[in-house]
Amino acid sequence: MSQPISKIPITVIVGPTAVGKTAFSIAFAKLIQAEIVSADSRYFYRGMNIGTAKPSVEEMQGIPHHLIDVAEPDQTWSLALFQQKAHAAILDIHQRGKNVLVVGGTGQYIRAVLEGWSPPELTPDLPMRKALEAWAEAIGPEDLHRKLSCIDPAAAAKIDYQNVRRTIRAFEVIFKSGELFSAQRKQVDSPYQPLVIGLTRPRAELYERIDRRIDQMFENGFVNEVRGLLDRGFSPELPSMSAIGYREVSAYLRQEISLEEAVLQIRRGTRNYVRRQANWFKGSDPQIHWYDLSDQGREAKSCRFSLKPGDSK
């Protein structure tokens, strides 16, 4: 009789944007002698720092971080590529005798690791994607999602209609492979034994932190960061530039909208993103151990380490 394969223990920290994952995870990594594997799709790209609230070298406080600044903005990191690189990083950290922290707010990437997804490794078809984007703009996100429901209801049920990029990707995979998108997301037994920690705050407090973060982004030179990316030839239509803020500031720089309108759109988009994140990380999920980081949160007060007051990451 064969012996069961031992699984690698990992700790996973999840939660919405601006809840405090950066400060919490770095303090926790120090406590348990861990290295951090980022599961935030916005952190992959070099030169996109301010608008993504990417932790600086100073903020990392000497804790090794993996899968940050691993690609140029015009390089596409698919879910399949992320999984490959994340698995390699986790195995490397474990084999060196260190603990593993997987940290992020990109629910799809977190679930792929936790649940052993095996996504299709199709390369992006940019001409097809542009045609699908034009179609989406013409008919709107709800109609686009409704058409996906007709073709692949199982896939549509797992995609928020507001996530136009994901809906387009589903169509792209279906049209390119000739198979349903839902049929291609196979699952294998996960090689990990996870402890999942969810961070939360009252929604009103979270929105206040988001507003402070956005104000700080512009004070820190976000407009110049976007201008620099455009000057280097990176199109605002790139998938990497779909991160909230970059296309809005690009529109401001092209004098299509005012700076005030750009800020308003970024605030609105970030709030919508928080609501989408809640669909991935539900309070009722028995796998997630939730900790309230607000001043009123009993769990936060009982932690053996402290967070910097006012830290918005």
Could you list the residues known to form a binding site, using ranges: 15-22
Query: Token digits for 219?
Result: 């004070």
Query: Token digits for 63?
Result: 């804790």
- Cα 26 to Cα 16: distance, rounded to the nearest angstrom: 17
Binding positions for substrate: 17-22
Binding positions for ATP: 15-22
195, β-bridge pairs: 11
Instruction: Give the CA radius of gyration of the chain.
Output: 20
Query: Token digits for 162?
Result: 């507001």
Taking the CA atoms of residue 38, residue 41, residue 47 and residue 53 in that order, the dihedral angle to the nearest 10 degrees is -70
- Cα 281 to Cα 127: distance, rounded to the nearest angstrom: 34
Contact criterion met (CB below 8 Å) for 230 and 253 = yes
71, β-bridge pairs: 45
